Amino acid sequence: MPRPKTKNLKLFTMKVEENQYKKYKAFAKSKNKPLSEIIKMLLDAQPIPENVVEKKEPKRVYNKVNPELIRQISAIGNNLNQIARRLNQKEEFDVVPHLYYIEKQLQEILDAH
């Protein structure tokens, strides 16, 4: 079913004191709805949902990575790009020794870390 078309209309301006505004915003946030949505529900005489506990995604934990390790892996990536470029240009060369060398470099990195 297609979504109904909506229009953004600025219907009215409401003057409230700063502390009231903060209270209204906090109320809307506790319902996990924007303030405009709460106002529309009140005007349409719809029930306002119970307080919703928002599930927050756990923060990602990033491990520090040795800059030398990044440099080594970047160099290997550059080598692979050069091999791919030569292959895409239909250049005749023996790719196996190059790939073997890259595999050896990766194994050395794995062993060291």
Digit-coded pLDDT (tens) for 58-91 = 888 888 888 888 898 999 999 899 988 988 888 8
Question: How many Cβ atoms from other residues are within 10 Å of residue 50's Cβ?
Answer: 8
Query: What domain count does the chain have?
Result: 2
- Clarify whether residues 52 and 80 are in a common domain: no
Those residues with Cβ within 8 angstroms of residue 38's Cβ, 6 or more apart along the chain or in another chain: 24, 27, 28, 31, 48
User: Angle between the 18-30 and 35-43 helix axes, to the nearest 10 degrees?
Assistant: 90
Q: Which of 101, 95, 75, 70 is nearest to 83 (CA)?
A: 95
Prediction pTM value: 0.42
Assign 57 a pLDDT band (cuts: 50, 70, 90). confident
- Clarify whether residues 72 and 106 are in a common domain: yes
- Is residue 4 domain-resident? no
pLDDT at position 46 is 84
Q: How many whole angstroms from its chain centre is CA 50?
A: 29
Q: Which domain holds residue 47?
A: 16-56
C-alpha to C-alpha distance for 35 and 23, rounded to whole angstroms: 11
Q: What is the pLDDT of residues 25-43, one digit of tens each?
A: 898 888 888 888 888 888 8
- Clarify whether residues 52 and 73 are in a common domain: no
Question: How many Cβ atoms from other residues are within 10 Å of residue 38's Cβ?
Answer: 19
**Mean pLDDT for all residues in the chain:** 84
pLDDT at position 81 is 92
Half-sphere exposure of 34 (CA within 13 A, CB side): 3
- Is residue 33 domain-resident? yes
